[in-house]
Amino acid sequence: MTETLIPLADFEAARTRIAPYVNPTPLVAITPEGLRLKAESLHPIGAFKIRGAFNAILSLSDEERARGVIAFSSGNHAQAVSYAANRLGVKAVIVMPNNAPKAKLEGTRRWGAEVITVGGSSHERMLHAKAIQAEHGYALVPPYDLLTIMQGTGTIGLEILDQAPDALVVYTPVSGGGLLGGVSAAIKQARPGVKVIGVEPELANDAWQSFKAGHIVGLTAEETARTIADGLRVQQVGDLTWPHIRTYVDEIVTVTEAEIKAAMRLIATGAKLLAEPSGAVSTAGALKRGGDLTKAVAVLSGGNVDLDVLAGILAE
């Protein structure tokens, strides 16, 4: 199979395409550590996924948009597709797990999408969405394994380079690989000397295992369900995201559940931002790996966390 790697020009084009709908997010420093957070939690749906959703839907033909779109997601991509479809006047159907956080379910319904819940397996969500797609002719907008999704997420990397020209290393969460693959490809082609490091939970370390093995390694839904980072419970990286990770990523590190929770507390107290567990793993990875954190940027990918969960973690 011929691997397709996204050229830098495609990330620049995506940046222009989504600009009317997606505002750049700021860098916010954690004090006193000096680590800068790319605050993707400040988007209207509280997560970076808005970038890929808009780019993917805007890249469809008029006829495809007229038929509507379908997506499958554990939460943030669901909200992003629902929001983007609402803004663009497109019908959206979203397949979500029945154990998705309440905040993400409510957020998805808020923007008018039809929500269908299934079991907790990411594979089950995908199969159910594809069956509905075949029946109704919707355009499928998967959460990560799509080039237009990666083009959209890669715009984060371009913004980081503009906002932090002194940055030497960028940390990003890794789930299905759309975020890590897109950000790493954009950054490495624009500024090869910047290191890009993926971070994921020890309890859902399929990307770390894949990186070590040199090929895609998958986990079971039962294994990935063990982590509090619900947005990172994808069982394996995508066929399209993997070549980008293998080509452009310097390192993948894993963090414990305790380290994720500690990062959430530090983000709240040191940067005055809310981070969901999945969004805090990059900060946890940066703190664990160490070095000069004033030359590092961590992508805070999302802030959609149930308040009772957040209160319990902050109180620990």
Between the CA of residue 135 and those of 49, 67, 69, 138, 139, what are the distances in Å? Answer: 26, 12, 12, 8, 11
Q: Of 266, 279, 280, nearest to 314 (Cα)? A: 266
Distance separating alpha carbons of residues 252 and 255, to the nearest angstrom: 10
Q: Is residue 49 among the annotated active site residues?
A: yes
Strand partners of residue 96: 117
Q: Which structure tokens are listed for 291?
A: 């070095």
Q: Which residues contact 301 (CB under 8 A, 6 or more apart)?
A: 40, 41, 47, 48, 76, 172, 173, 179, 231, 278, 279, 282
- Residue with token string 């960028």: 170
CA atoms within 13 A on the CB side of 239: 4
Sheet arrangement for strand 36-39? 27-29, 36-39, 296-300, 169-173, 195-201, 251-255
Q: Which of 49, 104, 188, 195 is catalytic?
A: 49
Q: Of 27, 60, 62, 61, nearest to 42 (Cα)? A: 27
Q: Is residue 74 among the annotated active site residues?
A: no
Q: Which residues are catalytic?
A: 49, 301
